[in-house]
Chain A
Amino acid sequence: MPAIEILGLTKDYAVGFWRKRMRRSLDNLSLEVNEGEIFGFLGPNGAGKTTCMKLLMGLIFPTAGTARILGRPIDDVAMHRDIGYLPEQPYFYDYLTARELLDYYARFSGFSAAERRARVTRVLERVGLASAADVQLRKFSKGMLQRAGIAQAIIHDPRIVFLDEPMSGLDPIGRREVRDIILDLKTQGRTVFFSTHILSDAEMLCDRVAVLHLGKLRGVGSPGKIVSVEVHAMEILFEPAEGHSLPPGLAQRAMPVGGRYRLELPEAALYSAFDEIRACNARILSVSPVRQTLEDYFLGLVERAPQATPPVEAGTR
């Protein structure tokens, strides 16, 4: 049984004040996420990622299509015991402290007072908020609120965690900690479904990704499958010897990078380039293949899409 099963999910919004028109935010999305995998939901702003998450959480209702989470329909509230959700830019009751907030959310799972206390302390520690446990949320920074959001999403040990842009607002240390939490959840056998536009995070974490653009699914698969594994160039990083300058031919082709040079060239031209570099007493620091990254794929998709896709207007009300 898939952890998440999305079947033709479509959402139209009414836009305009007087003359309402319908705009399609999500278009016939079908997707399956397996239990225990980290699934990345990629797409630029306005792609429909948040709309999809909100549909799955029952915050908005689909125009067409359906979805099942752990085999149960999305309008089954009891199923929410097994899921956790971090919304994009989470907002909380700012008159509560972090400890009170987590205790409040834990109450909905029916834990005893002692169990809640233990869980809250443990989760605060895990998201790095132990020292701010008794500070009111109105005094929290954006990054701290994000951590509190992650804490409430995992306080009840859900089987599936939905994270909408979990790295948003976090500094590099915070991002690293969130990555660790996501990997930790996977180790515990949990399913993580997270949306992001930070592609390096997706490449680093995800078993599979889906790419969404203008409400439509553009591709699903492992990051390695989505992007081309074919090597389409080689890259040489080298350092000229002290007091030596590069011959004009090489200097023209290589790009200076902080006292070193970077040369990108076809694989067939690699050995002749070695000879040129050796001839001017330069030191080769690294030689690496250049592959298409998820970012290349993503940018190509976004650049191509406006011509390739018809307008998303879905009609007039």
Chain B
Amino acid sequence: MSAMPRVVAINTFREAVRDRVLYNLVVFALLMIGAAILVGQISIGIERLVIVNLGLSAISIFGLVMAVFIGVGLVYKEIEKRTLYTLFSKPIRRWEFLVGKYAGLVLTLVINTVLMTIGLAAALLYIGRSFARADVSILIAVYFILLSLALVTAIALFFSCFSSPLLSTLFTLGIYVTGIFAADIRGFGALTSSAFLKGATSVVYYLVPNFRNFNSIAAAAHGESIPFSLVWQNTAYALIYIVLLLIASSAVFSRRNLK
């Protein structure tokens, strides 16, 4: 990363830390400790399944809440608080600022997710499991969660460039939920006889990122292997959307008058 976005990214990460965003880790740790103790007592041979399912779901939900609620304020807050006035008097371009803000939040999410994953691993060790080769699928599932969070952050950042946090939250969550059900929506369109509905559902399917692609929690919980081809496919899929969203954000924000 070039110097300007890096400076902004580090400051964005520092803001998240000082605003005690990482305190969610305490809640996650308590959840994992509670689950491990409970599973140990009602052991019926599905400890791994329960812990992995619970752990990965929590990582995903905690991350989603962070990505959406911090993401929608990334730019909006800086405009409202007028901190951009002094910043843009420095030799930094608007797109560099956006990339820096985005990278800063993604860095926060990565560190948060890594620490939660360590918590999940500790819970698995507590219930008396040693790690096996099949556990690589847990790491891949975590990686997919991170990709989806990076994508959600890019969507939130895009809306943050021109909309209020409340509307941005609604739009971002709307796209996320639509993305989860994208395949179902197209399936529904295929069942109707209306050409318009068929076309509209197809447009939604191709336009909105398909978030179900990133969900490998069930496979990881059952110890199934995840094909490596899916790793690079999902990576490329997320990157294309992220780059397009950052370009769109930059195009909108570069023309915006700061009140």
Contacts and interface: CB of A to CB of B under 8 A. Distances in A.
A59 B84 contact: yes
A58 B86 CA distance: 11
Interface in B81-106: 81-86, 88-93
Contacts, number: 71
Contacts of B255: 61
B14 interface: yes
Contacts of A85: 85-86, 89
Contact of A109 (B85, B86, B90): B90
B178 interface: no
Given A108-B4, A110-B3, A59 B91 contact: no
B184 interface: no
A57 B14 contact: no
Nearest to B91: A80
Given A91-B83, A95-B19, A108 B91 contact: yes
A104 B11 contact: yes
A84 B18 contact: no
Interface in A72-90: 77-81, 83-87, 89-90
A91 B88 contact: no
A274 interface: no
Interface in A55-113: 57-61, 77-81, 83-87, 89-93, 95-96, 104-105, 107-110
Given A95-B19, A108-B4, A110-B3, A57 B89 contact: yes
A107 B96 CA distance: 14
B91 A93 contact: no
B7 interface: yes
A152 B87 CA distance: 10
B85 A93 contact: no
Given A80-B89, A108-B91, A149-B86, A60 B15 contact: no
Size bin of chain A's contact surface: 20 to 34
B140 to A, nearest CB: 36
B255 to A, nearest CB: 8
A40 B91 CA distance: 25
A103 to B, nearest CB: 10
Contacts of B11: 93, 104
Contacts of A197: none
Contacts of B132: none
B86 A92 contact: yes
B2 to A, nearest CB: 11
B7 A58 contact: no
Q: Which of B7, B14, B18, B90 has the most CB of A within 10 A?
A: B90
A186 interface: no
A260 interface: no
A92 B81 CA distance: 8
Nearest to B6: A107
Contact of A91 (B14, B85, B90): B85
B88 A59 contact: yes
A86 B89 CA distance: 9
A54 interface: yes
A80 B255 CA distance: 19
A109 B7 contact: no
A82 to B, nearest CB: 9
B195 interface: no
A30 to B, nearest CB: 22
Interface string B11-31: 100110011000000000000
A109 B91 contact: yes
A110 B3 CA distance: 8
B85 A59 contact: yes
Given A95-B18, A108-B7, A57 B82 contact: no
Closest 9 CB pairs of A and B: A85-B89, A108-B90, A95-B18, A87-B85, A60-B257, A80-B91, A59-B258, A91-B82, A107-B7
20 contacts: A57-B89, A59-B85, A77-B91, A78-B91, A79-B91, A80-B89, A80-B90, A84-B89, A89-B82, A91-B82, A91-B83, A91-B85, A95-B18, A104-B11, A107-B3, A108-B4, A108-B7, A108-B92, A110-B3, A152-B86
Interface of B: 3-4, 7, 11, 14-15, 18-19, 81-86, 88-93, 255, 257-258
Interface of A: 54, 57-61, 77-81, 83-87, 89-93, 95-96, 104-105, 107-110, 149, 152-153, 162
Given A79-B91, A83-B89, A90-B86, 19 more contacts: A58-B88, A59-B88, A59-B257, A60-B257, A61-B255, A61-B257, A78-B91, A80-B91, A80-B92, A85-B85, A85-B86, A90-B82, A91-B85, A92-B83, A107-B7, A108-B7, A108-B90, A152-B86, A153-B89
